[in-house]
Structure 1
């Protein structure tokens, strides 16, 4: 190896080591309990082609290429992952995929950083959306765009508003997998009893408060929203406002948080006002607790992931009618929309080339309309492939759960811009924790809205700048 190549290799190793050390601190501080995993392609005729190999993966029936897939989908959703893998393995004799559950997103990422660059990690890893900047900066991945271009894969068949989150500098770095966004869940039965229109959920902050006032009686609260950093991020986006500078971290590395600006104070003044008016119940950070209260009829409105819909409807049964509405926005806000949540699939570049190509074959299979239809119905996450909505399975599911149409409409009506693509920063898990602490301080009266957000903005900015020094 010549001196220049040694230098490049050494620089890459230093970057990985620094990022790994920083990640250890980030994952130790991130909340983990409210990640969207715990709640949210080409046509099938394309699924046999491999980039640059005319459909040949390099394996054969007696010696198939093994692809290791690390994921964070537990329970019934994990069973849906296993089904996708089994269907792919039945369809191919030259490739075999092994799916291995690695625990929460943070746990999986921690395990991956230990294996990073050693050749002992997975071929494919599922990483939550707020880990995107870290994954790119790690230099440990092969951008998905490389396989897309080599295969002439038609990205127009996938949902543009979902691809937007994972696209940087014109390149798709990972393939969206489990995707959701937040919606308003409301009790139509309580709406009727309060004299409210059950088919017309509140759309603005003032409408939410007015409805909550009418609904709060007889031991029932009008609303309960979990103290969740993801909700704060979304409530910036519906205003068309960016969360960090430099185009939300998409036109260059973010250098500072914008938390304490007008967008943030508008959200928290509204939230605090409803708490102080005793029309909203504070149940802390867990969306599981707000869901439990909603399902029991103790609160009339909550915010939660679209991926929670099936579980909520099944749990409520016939005790009341569940309605869904768009995520509320401040009065007069028109240029925004929601950000997709969930996770995406990355291919690791320390695996042999033929193994990476085999991983791409599996990913193409997963995003085919038929498999996306199955995934949507059995996981509650969005299909990322447009043609999946034409599948009989999806049509039947929308008839059974018409409330999901709200989520689809909200996704399609969101304007795609830097605000709705979502913020990007290397310390996002830790930033989310800091935001949640600030929200608690405001709600509990420990600090004013302005002071809590200013303190959090300063702390996040300092951590962003410390992170940037490790990658510049």
Structure 2
């Protein structure tokens, strides 16, 4: 009975993520990045399947089916390499990518796990690795890592460990950085070579930058990622070391009050209350705001005329807070895969540091997961965002590794933040109520005692 109860809790939590990361909310998953030209509405990537023929020394025909996050510069470049370089390595393997938008991929993965269809071998996941592992839906990777002498500690841990096992290979690390408009800095009499170094400076800069028809800062007040980013900026944590919810704290209140002050001072767009995640991106790329604490993908987006009105103006710096939020996407292997060894070879190739470097150099987003790539001085000369991430790397903090992390983000952006910003609730009372709901979810899942 307990196993069935846990399965039901985990399933409902993951299915709710399809709402959290879809069009109905702020959209917090790093990094959707499906932005169209800055003046156009956003659209989800349509599902599609493409086949890459990839060399097996045994000469055996193998088909690998990949449930893939479409709409990202990075994932498009990885696919190109699979269709060319990996094809030369394994010419008799067929790699079929089924692209789905960010809003659907976690739901589809859990349906695959519960239905045992065996339709896919590999998928990309964000926050849901523990949930999939907990119901036996994905394969632990420790034996493959040991067999091939992979130094897993050289990869950024974005939630690939759970219960002392490795369940995923990290393919996309999203570390918050500060994007800012160099021209707007100059117009406001600020030195673009000296961006804000702390939260007090960020607020003062934002006030000075709120001029000439644009806002000084850019954020959605109802986004779980926005709150979590500011919580960490002010030195707070989502949970304490024992796993107890800890965001109902003085630092949590500071995060809320910072957003409230920005609204009162006219520093951020008051329309942000109704924003989705894509609207945040547009708010910066359209030139509507001067600064934006966001994921690294904006560095590449801002350089693309088809997405950006600020080509040649956007710069990057380390996020100015005490800690820095890190999210990202992992590759997992379904337990029902009939081609586990071959699936591992594909996962290993896509996350290999040499592949990651090529993806960046070929125009993919700058989201490396391997430390050798992140701290590659040659790359950093051309990609300022890598240096910005590296400067803050010792301050990186992630969401808790839990089967209930999507429950947490739902509580924040469906209940806590709307109560505060739309209903006028007291910040500490609303945060404490949310922390209590999250704790109960952890208790129900067997992750905390009664």
TM-score by length of 2: 0.81
Q: Specify whether residues 287 and 115 from structure 1 end up closer, same or farther in structure 2 by C-alpha distance, changes over 3 A only.
A: closer
| 1:306 to 2:290 alignment | no
CA distance, structure 2, for counterparts of residue 328 and residue 36 of structure 1: 19
Residue 92 (structure 1) aligned to one of 69, 90, 93: 90
- After superposition, where does 1:70-469 map in structure 2 within 5 Å? 70-74=67-71, 76-86=73-83, 87-93=85-91, 95-104=93-102, 106-116=103-113, 118-128=116-126, 130-156=127-153, 158-159=154-155, 162-163=156-157, 165-227=159-221, 228-247=223-242, 249=243, 256-282=244-270, 283-284=272-273, 285-315=275-305, 316=308, 321-329=313-321, 333=322, 337-352=323-338, 355-377=339-361, 378-388=363-373, 395=378, 398-411=380-393, 413-414=394-395, 420-437=397-414, 438-444=416-422, 446-468=424-446
Q: CA RMSD in A?
A: 3.2
CA distance, structure 2, for counterparts of residue 320 and residue 85 of structure 1: 31
Question: 2:22 corresponds to which residue?
Answer: 32
Q: Specify whether residues 326 and 440 from structure 1 end up closer, same or farther in structure 2 by C-alpha distance, changes over 3 A only.
A: farther
Q: Specify whether residues 403 and 163 from structure 1 end up closer, same or farther in structure 2 by C-alpha distance, changes over 3 A only.
A: closer
CA distance, structure 2, for counterparts of residue 459 and residue 15 of structure 1: 18
Q: Deviations over 1:133-166 (max 9, x none)?
A: 212212222212221123332335x33xx13632
Match of 1:439, SS state, is helix
CA distance, structure 2, for counterparts of residue 363 and residue 401 of structure 1: 25
CA distance, structure 2, for counterparts of residue 164 and residue 292 of structure 1: 26
CA distance, structure 1, for counterparts of residue 374 and residue 445 of structure 2: 41
Q: How many residues align?
A: 417
Q: Specify whether residues 291 and 67 from structure 1 end up closer, same or farther in structure 2 by C-alpha distance, changes over 3 A only.
A: closer
Q: Specify whether residues 389 and 101 from structure 1 end up closer, same or farther in structure 2 by C-alpha distance, changes over 3 A only.
A: same
Q: Deviations over 1:282-338 (max 9, x none)?
A: 323434323323333332112221112111233456666222222232xxx4xxx32
Q: Specify whether residues 443 and 365 from structure 1 end up closer, same or farther in structure 2 by C-alpha distance, changes over 3 A only.
A: same
Could you tell me whether the CA contact under 8 Å between 2:234 and 2:251 is conserved in 1? yes
Question: 2:39 corresponds to which residue?
Answer: none
* 1:375, distance to aligned residue in structure 2 (A): 2.2
Match of 2:269, SS state, is coil
Question: 1:3 corresponds to which residue?
Answer: none
Q: Specify whether residues 440 and 183 from structure 1 end up closer, same or farther in structure 2 by C-alpha distance, changes over 3 A only.
A: farther
Could you tell me whether the CA contact under 8 Å between 2:177 and 2:317 is conserved in 1? yes
Could you tell me whether the CA contact under 8 Å between 1:225 and 1:290 is conserved in 2? yes
Q: Specify whether residues 402 and 103 from structure 1 end up closer, same or farther in structure 2 by C-alpha distance, changes over 3 A only.
A: closer
CA distance, structure 1, for counterparts of residue 384 and residue 157 of structure 2: 25
Question: 2:47 corresponds to which residue?
Answer: none
Q: Specify whether residues 109 and 213 from structure 1 end up closer, same or farther in structure 2 by C-alpha distance, changes over 3 A only.
A: closer
Match of 2:278, SS state, is helix
CA distance, structure 2, for counterparts of residue 141 and residue 470 of structure 1: 23
TM-score by length of 1: 0.78
* 1:109, distance to aligned residue in structure 2 (A): 2.4
Could you tell me whether the CA contact under 8 Å between 1:187 and 1:320 is conserved in 2? no
Q: Specify whether residues 119 and 436 from structure 1 end up closer, same or farther in structure 2 by C-alpha distance, changes over 3 A only.
A: closer
CA distance, structure 2, for counterparts of residue 320 and residue 373 of structure 1: 23
* 1:180, distance to aligned residue in structure 2 (A): 1.6
Query: Counting helix residues as a fraction of each chain, which structure ranks higher?
Result: 1
Match of 1:163, SS state, is coil
Match of 2:328, SS state, is strand
* 1:127, distance to aligned residue in structure 2 (A): 0.7
Could you tell me whether the CA contact under 8 Å between 2:374 and 2:390 is conserved in 1? no
Question: 1:5 corresponds to which residue?
Answer: none
CA distance, structure 2, for counterparts of residue 210 and residue 466 of structure 1: 44
Structure with larger Rg = 1
* 1:24, distance to aligned residue in structure 2 (A): 5.9
Could you tell me whether the CA contact under 8 Å between 2:158 and 2:170 is conserved in 1? no
* 1:71, distance to aligned residue in structure 2 (A): 1.4
Q: Deviations over 1:428-454 (max 9, x none)?
A: 223213212423433346212222222
Could you tell me whether the CA contact under 8 Å between 2:64 and 2:93 is conserved in 1? yes
